[in-house]
Amino acid sequence: MDKAGEIAALLAPTVRALGLELLGAEYLPAPGGAVLRLYIDVPESEAGERTVGIEDCERVSREVSAQLDVADPISGNYTLEVSSPGLERPLFGAAQFARFAGETAKVALKLPQDGRRRLQGRILRVDGGDVAFDVDGKELVVAVDNIDKAKLVPDWVALGLAPAVDKSGRDARPGKQKKQADRKPAGRKPAQKHPTNKSAAKKPPVAE
């Protein structure tokens, strides 16, 4: 288990005692000071009833800060960040991939597989420690232990945050294409010549 996994296992009971779920942790070491980022959410049984708020993040931050001071799993200075998952929800572990089967995920691998380090595809299923993806119409099975980072890819069109487009890249919303077709291309105006008071420079006489 890596450093982020160890810290997540340490802090998960504390977050659970606050009525929340610790989805996972990211540990980003740096010369000037590391960053420890925790992602929290409401329990799956309460999804849809309430969402994580700023107050939840503040409560978790206070409690885990005290626990980290005692356990001291990180040597040196670090910054603690506590965040809700957001629309581009990070995925940690097989159970979370199984929960969002049918959704599209963007994945970065620790070791290359089939010549690629990154992939984007629909989550088909989880078999033990493996996740099957539909990538460009082909099934690709990846070991969970080989996944470095993963996050859901929101359907921005379904969320109403992006316009639907057709194969040509034009806006496919009803009435939009007709409006675009009715537009006349803007004609170019002829260059305007402005009179000048300057006299033309005289050419020097040519010697014969």
Residue type, 152: L
Both tokens of 42, joined, read: 């409401």
Both tokens of 67, joined, read: 């626990």
What residues form DSSP beta bridges with 149?
108
Print burial letters for 56-66: b (CB count within 10 Å at least 16), e (below 16): bbebbeebbee
pLDDT interval class at 197 (50, 70, 90): very low
Half-sphere exposure of 96 (CA within 13 A, CB side): 20
Tell which residue, 61, 2, 46, has the closest CA to residue 27: 2
Residue 106 in contact with residue 150, Cβ under 8 Å?
yes
CA-only gyration radius of the chain, Å: 28
Whether residue 180 has pLDDT greater than 90: no
pLDDT on residue 49: 84
Domains of the chain: 3-83 (3.30.300.70), 93-152 (2.30.30.180)
Whether residue 74 has pLDDT greater than 80: yes
Distance CA 162, CA 157 (A): 5
pLDDT interval class at 195 (50, 70, 90): very low
Contact partners, residue 78, CB within 8 Å, separation at least 6 = 33, 34, 35, 36
Q: pLDDT digits over 112-122, tens only?
A: 998 899 999 99
pLDDT on residue 174: 52
Whether residue 79 has pLDDT greater than 90: yes
